[in-house]
Amino acid sequence: MEQHPAANFEVHDPTILAQARAIMDATESPRAWAQAVIEAVTRNEEWRGRRCINLLAPEAPTSPTVRALLASEIGTRAAEGHIGRVNRWFAGTRHIDEVEALCVELLKTAFRCRYADHRLMGSMLGNLTVYHALSQPGDTVMTAAQPFGGHSSNRLDGPAGTRGLNIVDVPFDPVELEVDLDAFARLARQVKPKLVVMGMSMTLFPLPVQQMSDIIAEWGGKFIFDGAHQAGLIAGGQFQDPLNEGAVVLTGSAGKTFSGPQSGMILWNDPALTQPLTEAIFPVLVATHQVNRVAALAVAAAEMIEYGAVYMAQIVKNAQALGRALAERGIPVLAEARGFTRSHQVIANVRQFGGGLEVAHRLAEANLIANKNLIPGDKPADWDRPSGLRLGTIEITRLGLMEADMATIAGFMARVLVEGEEPASVRRDVEDFRLPLQDFYYNFDNGWPPALGKTEAA
């Protein structure tokens, strides 16, 4: 009998699913199946955790304490709703309330704002919260398209799309990678967006938040800063301060520059927004909300308050040094004339080396982990095979590396890409460089990195 093609539809790579199936077919023992999972986790820890130079921009190592809290007993307890005995459905949440209240207060301190929410699993849900709370189906919103750094959460195929919004692109200057403010003013005055949501996954320079907010204020439009990537830089005072520049809501991912457990954070100042936002969080988007993650987030916020300014400044200095070192070695980097970056990211144009997909996988064979990225000039047809490569300096900074070390890392990359050396031979040198570096700094476990020469106790 002929099968309907839809019956075979599989979104995952069928070869990798077949490998998992083969493991399960090889034995009838559930214990052995569990063991196979644990072994894959261990292989990852040995490779990505100990032997790779991880340059993924949306990834951050957590401190030992934050990581340990993710396995704490409190994570097996159920809590839903708002903090406090009357607000909760379940009894027995006394200590959970203490942890959650500390998390909220620490986030408010870290971001210097009046309100914070800690319950979302990711900032994809943070953005959905904003769309649910502050827009109606049919409203017009303006957001950034992906080739300029925009994120699907603010586009038709993401949360914004599920809300049935009319999405209009924020105009960008493709050379300077900046919002084209004149074009934005013209278009915005024409379509009068209810919200402008700027969420940049490719983020090199601060945005003109004040100017854009002033324009849309003419008809009561609200500016939302989706700071998934920049949250740590913002908390550390090293990028821009959207809530003081006109943004009414800041959303952020705790697992990116903020260097905590993967979580969504929502920050705001206006008491009038508290009810719509928190009612969208509970009971619309979360019920139980992983209190282990909340505890870990609270400690990560305390680390940011203590170490954030210096840690985030070093992340930016390292990114600028990495951009310069790559350019010097013949790897074209965007925004060279502007000093490459003011964030944790560096964007290389690797078209001449085979494009982002090919290059990212070749580098991964040398234990250098990065991701392909769309850059201006890429067409929708290039979606899977874009020209860019995005690099981030979060993990290498938390390992204690400084500007001078960026030349070493750029050198490894140039050997693979420019000199055409076999990735396997570069990998040996990458491992020699990485294996002695196994401690994460800028936290209460390990204090400041030795290279900073700071003497005070952690």
| Min separation Cβ 263 and ligand PLP, Å | 7
Q: Report the run of H or E that residue 434 belongs to, with start and end.
A: helix 423-434
Give CA–CA dist 237/109, Å, rounded.
12
Q: Which is nearer to ligand PLP, 193 or 261 (CB)?
A: 261
149, two tokens: 């750094």
Amino acid of residue 435: L
Residue 126 or 323 with smaller CB distance to ligand PLP: 126
Residue nearest to ligand PLP (CB): 122
E-assigned strand segments in 148-189: 166-169, 172-173, 178-179
φ, ψ dihedrals at 281, nearest 5°:
-70, -55
**DSSP classification of residue 80:** B
For residue 286, give the amino acid letter. Answer: V
Q: Please, which residue, 392 or 449, has the CB nearer to ligand PLP?
A: 392
Q: Which is nearer to ligand PLP, 67 or 88 (CB)?
A: 67
The distance of closest approach from Cβ of residue 426 to ligand PLP in the complex, given in angstroms and rounded to an integer, is 29
Residue 363 beta carbon to ligand PLP: minimum distance, rounded to whole angstroms: 21
Residue 40 beta carbon to ligand PLP: minimum distance, rounded to whole angstroms: 22
Nearer to ligand PLP, 228 or 326 (CB): 228
Q: Which of 129, 110, 421 is nearest to 241 (CA)?
A: 110
* DSSP designation for 368: E
Nearer to ligand PLP by Cβ, of 209 and 366: the residue is: 209
> In the complex, what is the shortest distance from the CB of residue 373 to ligand PLP, in angstroms, rounded to a whole number?
11
- What is the nearest approach in angstroms of ligand PLP to the Cβ of residue 253? 3
- Residue 208: partners with Cβ closer than 8 Å, 6 or more residues away: 178, 179, 181
Tell me whether residue 228 or residue 406 sits nearer to ligand PLP (CB atom).
228
Q: Yes or no: say if 36 and 45 are a contact pair by the CB < 8 Å rule.
A: no
Chain-centroid distance, C-alpha 52: 19
Bridge-based pairing state of the strands 388-392 and 371-373: antiparallel
Label the pairing between strands 264-268 and 115-120: antiparallel
Q: List residues near ligand PLP by CB under 6 A.
A: 58, 122-124, 127, 151, 153, 199-201, 226, 228-229, 253, 264
Smallest gap from Cβ 228 to ligand PLP, in A, equals 3
